[in-house]
Structure 1
């Protein structure tokens, strides 16, 4: 079980880091490539690069935590908090009428699923941490 969890964390970290690097390197291409992004407002390269940096840092935290057990609970939890907040913000946009409910389905693979995975990994990391 432990190996599977660490592999999932490493894959999540790689995906988040890759997304962030794409946002940093080619924010306009990212803006037009990701479904639904253009409906959230005009292109803003500064904002996309700021968020890209967040994704790189969170992704690196999941990857680092996969190989450094002592840091795992902290790094994974910090990443999970941001990812969950981001997912909840997407839900709020639907509730407020900014987006239609179809946005939840469209955004699930890239927004909600990573947040759920991060929360699950964080819970696992706390249960398996050395609490001395």
Structure 2
């Protein structure tokens, strides 16, 4: 099960990061809710895309070499967790928080939970 989750995370996060880096405007218009966050800023989208790419490569490294890749997985999980926390805060300040949480559930919250679960479940010395 862990290998499937790590593979899914790697594919999703790397794919999202590459889309943000190389098809920023398409990504901005394709992902639900993004256009409501403000005007398109290609530099900002690419910056976050780089973080997603690194998180995905960390999951891939963990998949390939679990012991050596675990620290990279943890770093990626931390980014995803902090990113999810920002979304929770923003949703709590919005006019329709439940709708925002539901919209962000698959792409923001579930990826963060999956990465954190993998990191905790496979910590060294366990």
TM-score by length of 1: 0.89
Aligned residue in 1 for 2:43: 46
- Pick from 69, 79, 103 the counterpart of residue 106 of structure 1: 103
- Pick from 63, 67, 71 the counterpart of residue 68 of structure 2: 71
Q: Deviations over 1:26-48 (max 9, x none)?
A: 10000000000000111000000
For the residue of structure 1 that corresponds to 2:96, the secondary structure is coil
Q: Which runs of 4+ in 1 moved over 3 A?
A: none
Aligned residue in 2 for 1:120: 117
Q: Separation in 2 of the partners of 1:58 and 1:92?
A: 22
Select between 29-38 and 67-76 the one with higher mean Cα deviation: 67-76
- Pick from 11, 15, 39 the counterpart of residue 12 of structure 2: 15
Deviation of the 1:72 alpha carbon = 3.2
For the residue of structure 1 that corresponds to 2:122, the secondary structure is helix
Root-mean-square deviation over aligned CA pairs: 1.3
Larger radius of gyration: 1
Unaligned runs of 5+ in 2: none
Deviation of the 1:73 alpha carbon = 2.5
TM-score by length of 2: 0.93
Q: Separation in 2 of the partners of 1:7 and 1:15?
A: 12
Q: Separation in 2 of the partners of 1:18 and 1:40?
A: 22
Q: Deviations over 1:17-66 (max 9, x none)?
A: 00010111110000000000000111000000111111111101001111
Select between 38-47 and 62-71 the one with higher mean Cα deviation: 62-71
Q: Separation in 1 of the partners of 2:2 and 2:96?
A: 34
